[in-house]
Amino acid sequence: MVYIDYDFYSEYYGETLPSEETDRIFKIASEIIDILTGYKIRRIGFDKLDSFTREQVKLAAAAEADYYGRNGDLTDSDSSDAVQMTLGKFSYMNSSGTGKKNNFPVSPVALGCLEATGLLCRRTGVM
């Protein structure tokens, strides 16, 4: 689900994104919001959220789209770069032996918007 449209975005950030890229950037920004919230919005349903939370999610998506548009593209990273992981005594590093950590860009403003909603809480209950 894409949480914002161009009208909502441009109300807060103006026309700072290239128009041919907005749909793709809004989709990626919304996916990043889903990742940050542990997909709670999709499980609950965006329309079932209270109005404050819906507005904060939209503001977070707009902030993330702006941040993503200015600070990088996920497709610029090469997924064939080295991977290193350790689990207990087991350790793995791919053949090149060097690594570059790839992170997706996260807007501090988006995190601030989501913080007030409780959607960032990762606690799990005991059943």
Per-residue model confidence (pLDDT) at position 94: 58
54's CB contacts (< 8 A; 6+ apart) are 46, 47
**Could you count the other beta carbons within 10 Å of the beta carbon of residue 48?**
10
Per-residue model confidence (pLDDT) at position 79: 44
Entry pTM: 0.73
pLDDT category of residue 16 using cuts at 50, 70 and 90: confident
Calculate the average pLDDT of the chain: 81
pLDDT category of residue 15 using cuts at 50, 70 and 90: confident
Q: Is the pLDDT of residue 26 over 90?
A: yes
How far apart are the C-alpha atoms of 113 and 53, rounded to whole Å?
9
